[in-house]
Amino acid sequence: MRIKTSDFDYTLPPELIAQTPIEPRDRSRLLVLDRRSGNIRHRHFFEITDYLRSGDVLVFNESRVLPARLKGTKAITGARAEILLLKRLDDGTWEALVKPGKRLNTGAVIEITGGAGTLTAEITGSGENGTRIIKFSDEKLLPKLGSIALPPYIHTPLTDTERYQTVYARIEGSVAAPTAGLHFTPELLADIRQKGVICVPVTLHVGLDTFQPVREEDPSEHVIHREYGIIGEHTARQIALAKKEGRRVICTGTTAVRIVEHAANLQMASDVQPQIFNGWIDLFIMPGHNFKITDAMITNFHLPRTTLLMLVGAFAGKELIDKAYAAAIKEKYRFYSFGDAMFII
């Protein structure tokens, strides 16, 4: 059966779009969706320990959100300009969005000034979908002069930018947070480890395209942007051993799912071991995908018509995801980045 992008559309009351994070983090709600029985349970996130067992391998994306928004002025005219970093390409070179896009083309120079000094950004070329290639004079100043860019559907200013980071975020490189991990606290992680769950890291730097709607009606025509990922030796070994021994691999977020499934796809068809990996990922998971690694998934509630919604539909089945989302809307769950969570088992 051929799928259409419109199959992954739904109507969400605007008041259910979470504008601020829940405090403490693990008091958010948790919808538990059982793929075998179709049952739905309504819990709170700190109760996820009731569904974890000794020997489970829990995969986290430890990518940290970088301060991707830079405000400056054009070197010649002094006109205001803005840069939104998307992806690091090389030393000092980034793919980015710029404002005003029509007036900032190849050759333009932007100056960003702050307490840490002055940074110059030269536009050296153009990329796809209106992006620009930018060469910075001193890449080390980017974290000091930039600010966190929240998703456009969040209109309330964030007083503590660490609330848009997971507590285990370590390697800077994402434009947006891997939001499924925002619900964990250090105390909850300690309880999970105490239960015998093996926690392992991966890195996948989240790009802006992740949250963009698919515009083509045939999703197979959609070109997903590449994202940079890393799986280390310890993580690869723990996942491989769990699969060999029949223990569950649980991915925290769609980013963790994509990188372990991508790495598994690089192996022979008969081998489920995800290899040590360091490189670019452009895996688009749609219904019909054969999941080789992921046995369960922790995820937030995603925007309509997105690759993320298609991924969870591929994992749980579209009808079951439709049922879960309808239940979440009826029960007034909070949606999107600062919203509630779902555990698909």
Q: Identify which has the larger pLDDT, 220 or 32.
A: 32
Q: How far apart are CA 141 and CA 115, in angstroms?
A: 10
What pLDDT was estimated at residue 270? 45
Among residues 119, 145, 171, which one ends one of the domains? 145
Q: Residue 211: pLDDT band by 50, 70, 90 thresholds?
A: low
* Token pair for 183: 């619900």
- Based on the domain organization, do 311 and 340 belong to the same domain? yes
> pLDDT tier at 1 (50, 70, 90 boundaries)?
low
Which residue among 145, 176, 191 closes a domain? 145
151 domain-assigned: no
Domain boundary among 145, 177, 204: 145
Percentage, residues of the chain above pLDDT 70 = 97
Q: Give, as one character, the DSSP assignment of residue 183.
A: G
Instruction: State how far the Cα of 174 lies from the Cα of 172, in Å rounded to an integer.
Output: 6
Same domain, 180 and 46: yes
Euclidean distance between CA atoms 153 and 132, whole angstroms: 24
What DSSP designation does 147 have? B
Least confident of 44-58, 200-214, 305-319: 200-214
Mind listing the pLDDT tens digit for each residue in 41-98?
A: 999 999 999 999 999 999 999 999 999 999 999 998 999 999 999 888 888 999 999 9
* 162 domain-assigned: yes
Long-range contacts of 117-123 (CB under 8 A, 24+ apart): 117/141, 117/144, 117/145, 119/70, 119/72, 119/145, 120/75, 121/70, 121/72, 121/83, 123/98
Please indicate, yes or no, whether residues 236 and 311 belong to a single structural domain of this protein.
yes
**Per-residue burial over 212-221, b = 16 or more CB atoms within 10 Å of its CB, e = otherwise:** bebeeeebee
Q: Residue 246 domain-assigned? A: yes
Q: Is residue 297 part of a domain?
A: yes
Has residue 289 been placed in a domain?
A: yes
Mark whether 111 and 192 lie in a shared domain. no
Element (H, E) at 239: helix 233-245
Question: Residue 22 sits in a domain of what CATH number?
Answer: 3.40.1780.10
With beta carbons less than 8 A apart as the criterion, state whether 102 and 79 touch.
no
Q: What is the mean pLDDT of residues 127-144?
A: 90
Do 115 and 226 fall within a single domain? no
Q: Based on the fold, state whether residues 58 and 87 are members of the same structural domain.
A: no
User: Do 52 and 104 have their domain in common?
Assistant: no
Q: Is 303 within a domain?
A: yes
Give which of 39, 280, 25, 36 is closest to 165, Cα–Cα. Answer: 25
Give the CATH number of the domain where residue 99 resides: 2.40.10.240
pLDDT in tens, 240-251: 999 999 999 999
Query: Same domain, yes or no, for 201 and 122?
Result: no
DSSP string, 103-167: G--TT-EEEEEETTEEEEEEEEEE-GGG-EEEEES-GGGHHHH-B----TT--SPPS-GGGGS-T
Q: What is the pLDDT of residue 272?
A: 53
Three-class DSSP category at 24: coil
Question: b/e for 103-141, b at 16 or more Cβ within 10 A?
Answer: ebeeebbbebeeeeeebbbebeeeeeeebbbbbbeeeeb
Residues 120 and 162 both lie in one domain? no
Per-chain mean pLDDT for the chain: 93
| Least confident window among 49-58, 138-147, 317-326 | 138-147
Within this chain, do residues 274 and 163 fall inside the same structural domain, yes or no? yes
Q: Are residues 216 and 275 in the same domain?
A: yes
pLDDT range class, residue 269, cuts 50, 70, 90:
very low
Task: Judge if 117 and 179 occupy the same domain.
Answer: no
Asked if the model's pLDDT at residue 209 lies above 90, the reply is no
Q: Which domain holds residue 219?
A: 5-65+158-344
Which residue shows structure tokens 């690759």?
A: 307
Q: Is 322 a member of any domain? A: yes
Q: Count of domains in the chain?
A: 2
Kindly indicate the confidence band of residue 195, based on its pLDDT and cuts at 50, 70 and 90. very high
Per-residue confidence at 274, pLDDT binned at 50, 70, 90? Answer: low
Short-list 290, 260, 238, 298, CA closest to 52: 298
| Within-domain flag for 150 | no
Of 132-136, 221-225, 319-323, the poorest mean pLDDT is in 221-225
**Mean pLDDT value of segment 126-149:** 90
* pLDDT score for 164: 97
**pLDDT tens readout for residues 212-234:** 789 899 998 888 888 999 999 99
Q: What is the DSSP letter of 73?
A: E
Mean pLDDT of 291-311: 97
